[in-house]
Amino acid sequence: MANNAHPGTTLRAALTKRGLITAPGVYDMISAKVADGLGFDALYMTGYGVSASLGLPDAGLASYTEMVSRVAQICQGTSTPVICDADTGFGGLLNVERTVKGYEAAGAAAIQIEDQVFPKRCGHTPGRRVVPIEDMVRKIKVAAASRASPDFLIVARTDARTNHGLEEALKRGEAFAEAGADILFIESPESEAEMAEIGKRFDKPLLANMADGGRTPILPKQRLEELGYKLAIFPATGFLATAKALANVYGVLKEKGSSDTLASEFYPFDKFCRLVGFEHVWEFEKRWPEV
């Protein structure tokens, strides 16, 4: 963030306004810079995307050190509040304390912690198991006690729906709200009717995970608002689009041996130079020319 205000203060204020907050998934500095320039109220640092950018599946393999490093890069290189995925908190209660302190110090506006057994799995893939509800409640309490500012928001996610049913997931959401979560994230509802039931049960801000290709239907903004959601994250939209674009242009290179027919597919080079910060380099070199 460019100023000294806590980034969570801006996000908390946005949550009090009417309408849905749409947060695109970002995973590296190119995706973060592009999204940051478009005027969103929040960005979402996707654990799946960060793991994929490291060449790893989203299966608990990316370490705390790798993730908090990416939190710092993205948050300190953008001006939009960033909600940052922290998986299970990377271990037990002491790990949760370290993770919360580290993410907040790195500039995150909010931290997302889930109730899966460590190592976790992507919330739209099979093989997920959850810890006892009491264990996750203690994690949320530790997270709330560990933050430096109450404006550092805690997003509590449950993955109980897939293996234990919607009612268990709703029960967990209620317990997480009582434990101090600021935003509730009921992962992987499998129909619009289930999403409507979630919306009826809580008065805390609700997060909808619009994971393209996942288990939950992708709904229009107006419908998400009608169902009671306050925040919608789109974690996969960016990296799926990027992968398709790369497969297309690299395929042309392989087939034709040149990029001479691809000019219309490209982000302008001069604009990209400015995106990654070359304007500062040019201004610096004018002020401090080499002798």
**Each residue of 131-172: pLDDT tens digit?**
999 999 999 999 999 999 999 999 999 999 999 999 999 999
Q: How confident is the model at residue 91, as a pLDDT?
A: 93
Task: Say if residue 126's pLDDT is above 80.
Answer: no
For residue 96, give the nearest of 109, 75, 112 by alpha carbon.
112
Arch. (CATH architecture) of 7-242 = Alpha-Beta Barrel (3.20)
**Each residue of 172-231: pLDDT tens digit?**
999 999 999 999 999 999 999 999 999 999 999 999 999 999 999 999 999 999 999 999
Q: How confident is the model at residue 2, as a pLDDT?
A: 44
